[in-house]
């Protein structure tokens, strides 16, 4: 190959790399409980209005006494860090823990949703519980940090809001569509 072709070839390689990053590839975690784009349609929210102690039987599940809500992909994840999709923490978390974020397949790379309400009928959950939901499509998440230690997590499919987690320094509230979720026991140490 001549030197004249090298700039053109490197431009083609850069374009291909950008295209792969933009289009995305199927997740290594994709399976029967996961869609290949977005979070998948089977999700579990863990609602912790008073935080929780460390849960040693689950890898990377440290003590976190702040109110928070976690999102996991699939109903059989065991709450492993590899299945974590997003989280929102109220107040000022301890060193080494951020106020929230979207992870892996749940990360929204399109238009962000930063406000709104889950359409009625919906259910508001304020107690410590696991919430297992089957939702349409393969939604993504946006996490918004507000003043005063308030964090909002929006789960949406395009502009359609499917769930909303609102966490402050003293409370954690999850709103989900009625008829699409069921409550279960949260993990214990």
pLDDT digits (tens, 9 = 90+) for 61-98: 889 999 999 999 999 988 988 999 999 999 999 999 99
Which pLDDT belongs to residue 37?
66
Q: What mean pLDDT do residues 33-48 have? A: 79
Rounded CA separation 80/72 (Å): 8
pLDDT band of residue 111 (cuts 50, 70, 90) is confident
Contact status, residue 85 vs residue 39, Cβ threshold 8 Å: yes
Rounded CA separation 151/119 (Å): 20
Which pLDDT belongs to residue 80?
87
Contact status, residue 165 vs residue 69, Cβ threshold 8 Å: yes
Contact status, residue 137 vs residue 43, Cβ threshold 8 Å: no
pLDDT band of residue 137 (cuts 50, 70, 90) is confident
From 83, 88, 85, select the one nearest 68 (Cα to Cα): 88
From 78, 95, 75, 100, select the one nearest 152 (Cα to Cα): 100
Reported pTM:
0.80
Beta pairing partners, 152: 144, 166
Which pLDDT belongs to residue 3?
46
């Amino acid at each position: 190959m001549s030197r004249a072709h090298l700039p053109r070839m490197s431009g083609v390689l850069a374009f291909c790399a950008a295209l792969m990053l933009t289009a995305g590839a199927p997740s290594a975690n994709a399976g029967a409980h996961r869609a290949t784009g977005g979070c998948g349609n089977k999700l579990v929210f863990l609602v912790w209005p008073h935080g929780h102690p460390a849960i040693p039987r689950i890898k990377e599940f440290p003590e976190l006494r702040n109110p928070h809500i976690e999102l996991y992909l699939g109903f059989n994840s065991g709450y492993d860090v590899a299945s974590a999709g997003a989280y929102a923490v109220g107040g000022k978390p301890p060193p080494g823990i951020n106020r929230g974020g979207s992870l892996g397949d749940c990360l929204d790379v399109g238009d962000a949703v930063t406000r709104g309400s889950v359409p009625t009928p919906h259910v508001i959950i304020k107690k410590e519980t696991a919430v297992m939901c089957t939702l349409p499509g393969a939604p993504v998440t946006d996490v918004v940090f507000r003043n005063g230690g308030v964090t909002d997590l929006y789960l949406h499919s395009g502009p359609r809001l499917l769930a909303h987690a609102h966490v402050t320094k003293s409370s954690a509230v999850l709103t989900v569509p009625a008829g699409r979720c069921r409550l279960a026991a949260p993990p214990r140490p």
